[in-house]
């Protein structure tokens, strides 16, 4: 049966500002889904009722609005993978507004930068792991870990480094399929390039790899460090508290000391042998990913091979 195309599928990639204002009810507070360092995310509703998310970038973000806009559009507009959030459009449009400047009203060109994505009904991994009363079952958590790794393998295969992996950057659809979002800090590497350096270190304090935090070194291993923290948080259900420490040193130490095979059996006492083996392997992989020496961290391909070897089915 042929489905009627949705408004979303027929939209151009560049969307008019007035259209996005209408879809978000003039950026109403009631439509706010979240607020971050780079902007405010709104729920947009299309004329046919379909939902999208609209991120309105702020001018004074840590990296600069234009750079964030360019990163997201350049690095994820063409990405199509089941574990990467789908961008459906963008807007970079100036409007004349009357503003107060040094005690006088003047007419100025104000540019608005907006990014539009598919709407994911279950929200962030952060919310589902740490902000709801019902604890996620292990099968769901393991599926999420594998999905994040699949998405990151795809991102790395096209020479993009995400640079901001954390539970807030992983969104879940109605079937709890994870999708990597928030590419505002991402970097595109050249074909032969494996790492680069920067003087401008930005990111989420408790998830930044130490070689990036202290020396400005960027590589795919930077993402692996953040991924390791994601795997450890998802497996243990315990929160890395980024405000307390750089690179999650105490959180990693706590997992390494406390999540012994005996503790895993105690925490998952109602689970079968396959489940216990999966949990144990995820803890091992997570701790390998957060090695201080980036050369000792596994590649994303190695991680996937080990995770997939634990699958009891070919899902």
What pairs with residue 107 in β-bridges?
Answer: 98
Categorize the per-residue pLDDT at 79 as very low, low, confident or very high, splitting at 50, 70 and 90. Answer: confident
| Residue 314 covered by a domain | no
Taking CA atoms, 271 is separated from 138, 176, 260, in Å, by 9, 21, 16
DSSP of 219-255: EHHHHHHHHHHHHHHHHH-----GGG-GGGHHHHHHH
Q: Using CA atoms, how far apart are residues 73 and 242, in angstroms rounded to an integer? A: 28
pLDDT at residue 203 in the model: 64
Residues 257-267 have pLDDT tens digits of: 999 999 999 99
Q: Which residue in the block uniquely carries the two structure tokens 């750079």? A: 67
Quick one: 131 and 109 in the same domain?
Answer: no
11/305: higher pLDDT: 305
Q: pTM higher than 0.95, yes or no?
A: no
What residues act catalytically? 164
In the block, tokens 């999208």 appear at 52
Q: Which residue segment(s) compose the domain that 19 sits in?
A: 7-118
Average pLDDT over residues 77-101: 84
Residues 180 and 210 placed together within one structural domain of the fold: yes
* The pair of three-digit structure tokens given for residue 11, joined into one six-digit string: 């939209």
Q: Where is 22: in which H helix or E strand?
A: helix 17-23
- Assess if residue 243 is contained within a domain: yes
Structural domain ending residue among the three candidates 118, 149, 176: 118
**114 & 132 share domain:** no
Q: Is residue 223 part of a domain?
A: yes
Residue 103 placed within a domain? yes
Q: Tell me whether residue 108 is in a domain.
A: yes
Which range is least confidently modeled, 51-60, 135-144, 148-157, 192-201? 192-201
Picking from 137, 130, 128, 129, the residue whose alpha carbon sits closest to that of residue 268 is: 137
Mean pLDDT of 120-137: 93
The DSSP secondary-structure symbol of 49 reads: S
State whether 93 and 228 are in the same domain: no
Q: Is residue 315 part of a domain?
A: no
Are residues 207 and 276 located together in one domain of the fold? yes
Last residue of a domain, one of 85, 118, 151: 118
Q: Compute the distance between CA of residue 288 and CA of residue 150 in angstroms, rounded to an integer.
A: 18
- Those residues whose C-beta lies under 8 Å from the C-beta of residue 176, and which sit 6 or more positions away, are 122, 128, 140, 143, 144
Give me the phi and psi of 205, to 5 degrees please: -45, -50
Distances (CA, A) of 122 to 25, 117, 119, 125, 218: 22, 14, 9, 8, 31
Q: Which of 85, 19, 89 is nearest to 47 (CA)?
A: 19
pLDDT at 50 over 70: yes
How far is the CA of 104 from the CAs of 59, 165, 176, 277, in angstroms?
22, 44, 52, 69
Q: What is the mean pLDDT of residues 56-63?
A: 70
- CATH code of 103's domain: 3.30.200.20
Q: What is the pLDDT of residue 1?
A: 46
The mean predicted confidence, pLDDT, of the chain is 86
Out of 118, 144, 173, a domain closes at: 118
Do 152 and 109 reside in the same domain of the chain? Answer: no
Q: What CATH number is attached to the domain comprising 300?
A: 1.10.510.10
Per the structure, the count of domains in the chain is 2
Same domain, 113 and 220: no
Q: In this structure, are 82 and 204 located in the same domain?
A: no
Overall average pLDDT of the 168-182 stretch: 96
**Residue whose structure tokens are 């270190």:** 201
Question: Does residue 2 lie in a domain region?
Answer: no
pLDDT-derived band at 105 (thresholds 50, 70, 90) equals confident
* 48 and 94 assigned to the same domain: yes
Question: Distance (Å, rounded) from C-alpha 17 to C-alpha 20?
Answer: 5
- Give the pLDDT mean for 78-99: 84
* Within a domain: 1: no
Same domain, 107 and 144: no
Say if residue 171 is in the same domain as residue 255.
yes
137 and 259 co-located in one domain: yes
- At 188, is the pLDDT very low, low, confident or very high (cuts 50, 70, 90)? confident
């Amino acid at each position: 049966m042929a489905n009627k195309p949705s408004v979303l599928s027929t939209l151009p990639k560049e969307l008019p500002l007035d259209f996005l204002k209408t879809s978000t009810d003039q950026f109403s507070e009631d439509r706010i889904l979240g607020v971050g360092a780079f902007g405010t995310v709104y729920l947009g509703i299309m004329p046919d009722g379909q939902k999208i998310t609209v991120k309105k970038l702020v001018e004074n973000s840590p990296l600069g609005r234009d750079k964030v806009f360019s990163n997201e559009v350049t690095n994820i507009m063409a990405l199509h993978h089941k574990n990467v959030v789908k961008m459906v459009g963008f807007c970079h449009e100036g409007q004349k507004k009357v503003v107060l400047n040094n005690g006088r009203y003047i007419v100025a060109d104000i540019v608005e930068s907006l990014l539009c994505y598919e709407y994911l009904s279950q929200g962030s991994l952060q919310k589902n792991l740490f902000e709801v009363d019902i604890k996620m079952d292990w099968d769901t958590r393991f599926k999420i870990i594998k999905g994040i790794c699949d998405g990151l393998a795809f991102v790395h295969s096209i020479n993009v480094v995400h640079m901001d992996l954390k539970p807030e950057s992983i969104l879940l659809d109605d079937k709890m399929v994870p999708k990597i979002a928030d590419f505002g800090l991402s970097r595109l590497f050249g074909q032969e390039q494996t790492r680069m350096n920067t003087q401008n270190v930005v990111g989420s304090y408790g998830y930044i790899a130490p070689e990036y935090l202290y020396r400005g070194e960027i590589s795919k291993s930077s993402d692996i460090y953040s991924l390791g923290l994601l795997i450890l948080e998802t497996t243990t259900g315990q929160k890395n508290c980024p405000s307390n420490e750089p690179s999650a040193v105490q959180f990693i130490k706590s997992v390494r000391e406390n999540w012994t095979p005996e503790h895993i059996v105690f925490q998952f006492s109602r689970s079968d042998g396959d489940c216990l083996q999966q949990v144990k392997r995820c803890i091992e992989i997570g701790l390998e990913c957060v090695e201080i020496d980036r050369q000792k961290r596994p590649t994303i391909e190695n991680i996937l091979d080990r995770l997939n070897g634990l699958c009891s089915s070919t899902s």
